[in-house]
A = this chain, B = another copy of it.
Amino acid sequence: MHELADASGAVIRPYFRVDVSITDKTDPDDAAVYDPVTEADRNGEMAIRNLIRERYPRHAILGEEHGREGEGPELWVLDPIDGTRSFIGGFPTWGTLIAFNDGEAPLLGVMDQPVTGERFVGTPDGAFLAERKLHARGCRDLDAAVLYATTPDMFSPTELPVFEDLAARVQLRRFGGDCYAYCMLAMGLVDLVVESALQPYDIQALVPIVRAAGGVVTTWEGGAPDQGGRIVAAGDPRLHEQVLTRLAGV
């Protein structure tokens, strides 16, 4: 996992905050010339795929940019840049997501931030940021919780009022998280992440990190989160249970 993250980080890092000030975005010809995000995304994923193919030629791979290859049951699930909009805006709150799924569930997960040098790792032995072992914090009551979602724009018209109702009851709600919010939950700094419209590669790497830190992550219906969709993660299982009740039947 570390080799894969090292390789993708080396590819992606040079594309971050490149000077596009000479490009007038309102000139459509100019805008078509160079798209650093797409290039970083594609090349980063390819770097990871190449290494997996070399080492584990029988494993399957599912990635955001280049789709699925191979048959499994062992499956690597990749998102080279989770949080492309943060990446575009120059914010460091994006990450490279790498999950290893043994055919049952995501067993190992990495969220790598190659610019700040942070690497969050989830394993059956615990969740870690470098040497620090991560622990989600206790927070039983909704009105004491810090809630994150990437953006209000991710919710459908039927989901948004339910999210807004939840958000009105917490101590603090904030937008702009992407994968970063799940890692902060595993660190005991965020209590809740409630999102929608996620892809499998948006969540699988984060599942082992959240779970190994003592948190819970499921769909809004309480099912396995592996296929993405509508996701709720909580640092405290008691809070998770409460929130599921509020999200039921949407």
Contacts and interface: CB of A to CB of B under 8 A. Distances in A.
Interface string A124-149: 00000000000111111100101010
A147 to B, nearest CB: 10
B172 A85 contact: yes
Chain A interface bracket (under 10, 10 to 19, 20 to 34, 35 or more): 35 or more
Contact of A174 (B19, B85, B184, B191): B85
Q: How many identical subunits does the complex contain?
A: 2
Contacts of A26: 138-141, 144
A20 B184 CA distance: 12
A184 B90 contact: yes
Contact of A24 (B17, B138, B173): B138
Contact of A21 (B23, B89, B188): B188
A129 B136 CA distance: 35
Interface in A76-96: 85-86, 88-93
5 contacts: A20-B137, A21-B135, A89-B146, A89-B190, A151-B174
